[in-house]
């Protein structure tokens, strides 16, 4: 049986609030950055549920010994922000996963063909097969960048079922491509919008996330 892509839109009021702030064209760059950071934090919190490996142990409280559950430190966790906009989600993600390794992947989209090409790749040559990988990419629009990122990761031994993608806005073209290529993959996003226009922007979306994050 084929396991399909799963997409979660957490019904958390803080996620809804910060999405509204990010969507608003009147939001200044400094507040937009804060909104994306907060979305990175809360979406990563949701993504970590039943994803981080745990161990059962005991701890000594001030009164007696009791059972406890802790994160298994032997299983590697990595965060891969897709530059440049993925950096906006990284700060929030790191507050949830402070011990995760960070591997930068720089992708740029050709504005005419909408195809993604790589200009920076700091991924290791090979990942431990148990590695949990969190990809941060605010916009899943045409799917070019996220498909390129997944290709680079799987070529280095990453198991798609151990990958979590954190996005602010997702659109059907990207989700359909991911579903066709990577069964078992899971996406966490603040919302799913209906369309992508002929310039590759999600509508209604929130504009160019990278430009708004960095004030360019």
The pLDDT of residue 199 is 85
Residue 23 lies in a domain: yes
* 16-36 tens-digit pLDDT: 999 999 999 999 999 999 999
The percentage of residues in the chain with a pLDDT greater than 70, rounded to a whole number, is 96
Confidence of residue 4 (pLDDT cuts 50, 70, 90): confident
Residue 29 lies in a domain: yes
Quick check: 110 pLDDT over 80? no
Residue 191 lies in a domain: yes
Residue 62 lies in a domain: no
For the chain, the domain total comes to: 1
If DSSP codes are grouped into helix, strand and coil, which group holds residue 3? coil
Q: Which domain holds residue 202?
A: 6-52+75-214
Residue of 210, 200, 216 whose CA lies nearest to 36: 210
- CA–CA dist 133, 158 (Å, integer): 8
* 119-142 tens-digit pLDDT: 888 899 999 999 999 999 999 999
Residue 1 lies in a domain: no
Structure tokens at 25: 């064209």
Check which CATH number belongs to the domain holding 168 and give it.
Answer: 3.40.50.2020
Residue 63 lies in a domain: no
Residue 204 lies in a domain: yes
Residue 67 lies in a domain: no
Structure tokens at 119: 């200009």
Our CA angle for 197, 202, 205, nearest 5°, is 135
């Amino acid at each position: 049986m084929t396991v399909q892509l799963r997409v979660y839109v957490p019904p958390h009021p803080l996620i809804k609030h910060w999405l509204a702030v990010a969507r608003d064209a009147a939001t200044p760059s400094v507040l937009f950055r804060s909104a994306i950071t907060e979305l990175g934090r809360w979406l990563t919190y949701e993504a970590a549920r039943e994803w981080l490996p745990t161990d059962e142990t005991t701890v000594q409280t001030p009164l007696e010994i009791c059972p406890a559950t802790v994160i298994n430190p032997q299983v590697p966790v990595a965060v891969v922000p897709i530059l440049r906009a993925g950096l906006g989600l990284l700060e929030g993600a790191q507050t949830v996963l402070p011990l995760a390794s960070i591997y930068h992947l720089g992708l740029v989209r050709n504005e005419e063909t909408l195809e993604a090409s790589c200009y920076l790749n700091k991924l290791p040559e090979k990942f431990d097969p148990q590695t949990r990988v969190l990809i941060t990419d605010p916009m899943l629009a045409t799917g070019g960048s996220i498909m390129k990122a997944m290709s680079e990761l799987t070529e280095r031994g990453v198991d798609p079922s151990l990958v979590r993608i954190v996005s602010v806005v997702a659109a059907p073209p990207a989700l359909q491509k991911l579903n066709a290529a990577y069964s078992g993959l899971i996406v966490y996003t603040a919302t799913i919008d209906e369309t992508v226009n002929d310039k590759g922007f999600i509508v209604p979306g929130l504009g160019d996330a990278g430009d708004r994050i960095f004030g360019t």
